[in-house]
Amino acid sequence: MKKPPLIFTNVILFIVLTLIAVVGTPLWAISYGFDWFEIGVTIFLFYFTGMCITAGYHRLWSHKTYDANPIVRVILAIGGAMTVQNSILHWSSDHRIHHRHVDVNDKDPYSAKKGFWFSHMGWMLREYQAARYDDYSNCKDLQKDKIVMWQHNHYVPIVLASNFGLTAFLGWLNGDILGMMLLAGVTRIVLVHHVTFFINSLAHIWGSRPYTDANTARDNGILAFFTFGEGYHNYHHIFEYDYRNGIKWWQFDPTKWLIKGLSFVGLTKNLRTCPEERIEKAKLAMQLKYAQDRAISLPNADEIKAKIQAEYELVQQKMSEFYATKKRIMALRKKNLQLSYEKLELDFKYKELKNALKIQQEKWQSMYNFYLEPQTT
Ligand SMILES: [Zn+2]
Ligand SMILES: [Zn+2]
C-alpha cells in the first residue's frame, strides 16, 4: 500500500532539533563547556515541561482525572507548549482516540501494532491523520475551556516565546545565551520528546500486564522512572480516569505526587481514583486467566483448572464481602455515628472479613506461584 505523503514541517523540525541535540550540543560542550547553572536549568525544565505534559495534557485535559485552579492550568498550558508536542486540544483529541481504539491500526493514531518506530515517531511524519486533522468533535468539553483555546489559537507564538524567550533570558543572566538555548532549550525539548514518545512505543511493548490483556499496554517500573510515572501504562489503559498511574505508594509516579501535593494547598481538587475493589478484582481475574492458560499444558489440566477456579471464586467472594462491609462502615462514618451498636458490630465484622480475605489471598497466591509461574507477557 502506498504511504501517505510526508509532513515536511514535522520531518524538518525533528531532523533539525535532533541534529542540534546530538551534534551541536556535544561540540559546544567540548569547545566551551556547560556550567552548573545551565545544567541545573536544563534538569529543572526537563521535569517541569515533561510533567506539564503528564499532569496537564494527559491527566488533566485528556482524561479529566482532577480539577485544577486556573493559575495551575495556565502554567501547565505554557509548560506543555514548551515541549513542542502540538496544542492541548490536538494532543488530547489524538490521545482520546488512542484510548478508544487502542491497537486498531486504521483508527489508533499511534497504534503499537504497527511497530516500534510507527508508534514512537513515524505516525507524526506522514499524513496518516489528514482526514481528521481538524476534527475535535471528541473534545467538545475542551473547546469550552478558555485556557485550552487560548493556547490552541496562539500555539506557535507561545512555543517560541516560552522556549526561546525564557532560555535566552536565563542565558543572558548567566552570560551565555547560545549555550543555554542549546542545552535547556533544544536538547531538553528532544529529551522530553523521546520520553513522552516512549509511552506510546515502549510502554506498549515492554513490561507486564497485571490488570488487562485486552490491549498491548504494559506496566513497567523502569519506564515509569523515565516518564514521570507514566510507565504504569497497563493500569492506565484500564482505569484511565484515575489521576494515578502507579497506584501503590512506593510506585514511582511523580505526576501523581504533584497532583496530590497541589491538592493539599487547594490548587487541585476532585482527584478521581478507581475503587480498590475493582482494581483488586481486575488483577485477580488476570491471574486466573494466566493460571488457566498455563494449566492447559500440564498433564492433569482439568483437575488443576477446576482447583484454580474454585480457589479464585473463594477469593472473589471474600473480596465482595469485605468491600461491601467497608462501604457500609464508610457510610456510617459519614453520618458520624461513632459509638452506635451498629458501628461496633460492623467494626468487628470488618476485622474478621479482612483477616479471612488475607488468608484466602495468601492461599491463592501460594497456589498461583506453586503451580504456575506468572505468565505476564
Ligand atoms: Zn491516557
Ligand atoms: Zn497507550
Ligand 1: distance of its center to the CA of 16 in Å? 29
Q: Residue 157 C-alpha to ligand 1 middle, in angstroms?
A: 27
Instruction: Please state, for a pLDDT cut of 90, what percent of the chain lies above it.
Output: 83
Nearest ligand to the C-alpha atom of residue 212: 2
Between the CA of 12 and the centroid of ligand 1 the distance, in Å, is 28
Average pLDDT over residues 44-49: 98
Q: How many angstroms is it from 293 CA to the middle of ligand 1?
A: 29
pLDDT digits (tens, 9 = 90+) for 294-323: 888 888 888 888 999 999 999 999 999 999
Q: What separation in Å is there between the alpha carbon of 121 and the centre of ligand 1?
A: 17
Q: pTM for this structure?
A: 0.93
| 196 CA from centroid of ligand 2 (Å) | 11
- Rounded to the nearest angstrom, the distance between the alpha carbon of 216 and the centre of ligand 1 is 13
What is the predicted pLDDT for the residue at 335? 74
How far away, in angstroms, is 76 Cα from ligand 1 center?
Answer: 17
217 Cα–ligand 2 center, Å: 6
Distance 101 CA to ligand 1 centre (A): 12
What is the pLDDT of the chain when averaged over all its residues? Answer: 94
Rounded alpha-carbon distances, angstroms, from residue 250 to 212, 225, 231, 254, 360? 21, 12, 14, 11, 25
Question: Under DSSP, is residue 174 helix (H, G, I), strand (E, B) or coil?
Answer: helix
Band of the pLDDT at 243, cuts 50, 70, 90? very high
Least confident interval from 47-61, 129-143, 266-280, 292-306: 292-306
Q: What is the pLDDT of residue 152?
A: 98
Q: Which residues pair with 208 in a beta bridge?
A: 219
Q: What average pLDDT does the segment 330-358 reach?
A: 82
More confident residue, 27 or 300: 27
* pLDDT > 50? residue 348: yes
Kindly give the distance from the C-alpha atom of residue 62 to the centroid of ligand 1, in angstroms, as a whole number: 7
Q: Are the beta carbons of 93 and 138 closer than 8 angstroms?
A: yes
What integer is the mean pLDDT of 258-265?
98
Percent of the chain whose predicted confidence (pLDDT) is above 70: 97
Question: Which ligand has the minimum distance to the alpha carbon of residue 103?
Answer: 2
Range scoring the smallest mean pLDDT among 48-57, 257-266, 340-349: 340-349
pLDDT number for residue 336: 67
CA 28 to centroid of ligand 1, rounded, Å: 37
Q: Which ligand is nearest to the CA of 217?
A: 2
pLDDT at residue 274, as a whole number: 97
Helices (H), the chain: 8-19, 25-31, 36-51, 70-81, 88-100, 116-120, 140-143, 146-153, 155-160, 166-174, 177-180, 188-200, 221-226, 233-238, 254-264, 276-295, 301-335, 341-371
Q: 63 Cβ partners below 8 Å, 6+ apart?
A: 240, 241
Q: Place 375 in a pLDDT band, splitting at 50, 70 and 90.
A: very low
Cell 480457589 belongs to which residue? 311
